[in-house]
Amino acid sequence: MTIKMKIGFALLLFGMLAMNATKAQTVDSIPSRHDFRFSGQLSGWGSITSDIETKGWLGSRYIPQVNYTYTLSKDRLIDFEGSASLFGELGVTSVPTVTASGNINPYRLWARYATQGSEVRLGLQKINFGSALLFRPLMWFDKMDPRDPLQMTSGVWGGLYRRYLLNNSNIWLWVLAGNKDSKGWELYGTGGNLSPEAGGRVQLPIPTGEAALSYHFRRADIVRINPPNQQANEQRIGFDVRADVTVGLWLEASLTHYDKDIGGTTNQQMITLGSDYTFDLGNGLGVTAEHLLYGMGSKVFSYEETLNFSGLSLSYPFTLIDDVTTMLFYDWKNQQLYSFINWQKQFNRISFYLMGFWNPETYQIPGQGSFSRFTGKGLQLMVVWNH
C-alpha cells in the first residue's frame, strides 16, 4: 500500500464517519459544535561522539498537526488527527565525510468515533499498552526508546476498538493492514503488503491494581532464512499485572511462537519484573528498577540463546522547570554497562535537553536493534519548540 493509498484510505474512513455523524445530528436535532486546532513541534539537535565512525550529527524534525472535532452530543463525538514528520539530518565522519538523509512521511492520520464508554479509531495511529517502563515485552506495535525525551515512534495502519466498562475493565480489539516492515520486537516483517493482522486485549481490575491478557496473530515473512515467499503463522500471547502497595510492582510477559521450524527463533519469551517508588528526599527522588529475561529457541521454554538485562532509572526535579533523569542498563551476559543522563529545562513552549551517554559501540539491548543515536560515548543537545 503506497503512502497516497494509505492517506486516501484514512480520509475515506473519516468521510464515512462524518456522514454518519451528520445523519445522527439531523435525527436527534442536536446542535453541532466544531473545533479546529493547528499545532506543531519543531526539534533540532546536535551531538558529538568520540569512539564510533560518525563523530557528529546535526538534525531537525518538524511535525505539523491538525485536529478537528465534531461534537454530536455531550457523550458522542467524532474527531480527526493528521500529522506529518519532516526530517533531515547530517552526519560527519572523521575523514571527514558528510552524509545527508531526510524524509517526509505521515506520522499520524486517523479518524475516531467516541462515546462515553467506547471508541473506534481508524487509520495511522499509535497502539501501545502494558505496565513495564524500561524493558517492555508488550512493545508489539511501537519502538519507543525510554531515553528519548520526545518518545518518537512510527504508527501502524489499522482499526482499534476500545470498550470501557463501569467496573474499570476495558476491552481492546484491533485489525491491522499494510504494515509490511517489522515493528516492536518483531524479527521478521509481515508477509504481503496488505496481509491483515488481528488481536485483542482484556484488562481487569484486581485489588490495588489491574491485570490484562493480550493476543495477536499475523503472517510473518521469513524469507531471510527460508526459500523465497516463505511465510509462517505467528502468534503472540501477553500478560501484565500491576499492583500499587507501599511501592509499585509489576510483571509483564510475552510469548511468541511460529508454526514452522525456523531454528532458534521459532519461540521467543520475555519477562520483565519491575518496581518504582518516590523517596521523600528534597523535592522527591523517583526510582524505577526493572529486570528483563529474554530467551529464544526451537522449543517453547527451552532456549538456546538468553539475555538478562537490569535497568535502573532515577529522576529528580530540582525546580519547577529543571529535572534530571539518569538511566543505567546492565547486560549480564556480555558484562556491559549502558549509562545515560538527561538534564531538562522546561519553559512554556520551549524545552532544552542536554544528554550524555557512555555505552558500548555495539548495541545489544533487545528491541532497539544494532544502531542507536546513543551508541558509544557522547553528548547531545536538543531544543524543542511546541506551538
Q: Helix, strand, or coil here: 370?
A: coil
What is the residue-averaged pLDDT of the chain?
87
Per-residue pLDDT band for 368 (boundaries 50, 70, 90) equals: low
Closest CA to 136 of 123, 150, 151, 119: 151
> CA gyration radius for the chain?
22
| Nearest residue to 160 via CA among 199, 213, 204 | 199
Using alpha carbons, list the distances in angstroms from residue 173 to 140, 217, 304: 14, 12, 34
Q: How confident is the model at residue 262 (pLDDT cuts 50, 70, 90)?
A: confident
Determine the Cα–Cα distance for residues 291 and 313; give it in Å rounded to an integer: 12
Q: How many residues does the chain have?
A: 387
What is the predicted pLDDT for the residue at 57? Answer: 84
* Closest to 221 measured CA to CA, from 264, 245, 192: 192
Per-residue pLDDT at 366 exceeds 90 = no
Element (DSSP H or E) covering residue 190: none
- Res 225 pLDDT > 60: no
With vertex at residue 38, the alpha carbon angle to CA 36 and CA 44, rounded to the nearest 5 degrees, is: 165
Q: What are the backbone angles phi and psi of residue 282, rounded to the nearest 5°? A: 60, -120
User: CA–CA separation, 157 vs 193, rounded Å?
Assistant: 12
Most confident listed range (1-10, 78-87, 218-227, 298-307): 78-87
Residue 36: all three cell numbers together: 479546529
**Which pLDDT does position 274 carry in this prediction?**
97
Q: How confident is the model at residue 344 (pLDDT cuts 50, 70, 90)?
A: very high
The fold of 3-386 is Porin (2.40.160)
SS3 content of the chain, % helix, strand, coil (to 5): 5, 60, 35
More confident residue, 131 or 368: 131
pLDDT tens digits, one per residue of 162-181: 999 999 999 999 999 989 88
Range of lowest pLDDT (9-13, 39-43, 220-224): 9-13
- What number is the average pLDDT over the span 50-75? 89
- Percentage of the chain beyond pLDDT 90 is 66
The SS3 of residue 132 is: coil
Residue 12 confidence (pLDDT): 44
Q: List the chain domain ranges.
A: 3-386
Q: Any idea which residue has 486516501 for its cell?
A: 8
Residue 149: HSE in the Cβ half-sphere, 13 Å Cα cutoff: 26
- Cell numbers that stand for 87 in this block: 526530517
Gap between the Cα atoms of 377 and 283, Å rounded: 30
Phi, psi of 223 (to 5 degrees): -60, -25
Residue found by looking up cell 473519516 in the block? 14
| Rounded distance between C-alpha atoms, residue 362 and residue 343, angstroms | 25
CB 242 within 8 A of CB 250: yes
Alpha-helical regions (H) of the chain:
3-28
Weakest-pLDDT range from 38-42, 198-202, 298-302: 298-302
Query: pLDDT tens-digit profile of 118-165?
Result: 999 999 999 999 999 999 999 999 999 999 999 999 999 999 999 999
Confidence of residue 27 (pLDDT cuts 50, 70, 90): very low
Looking at residue 22, what is its pLDDT?
A: 42
Report the DSSP beta bridge partners of residue 82: 66, 109
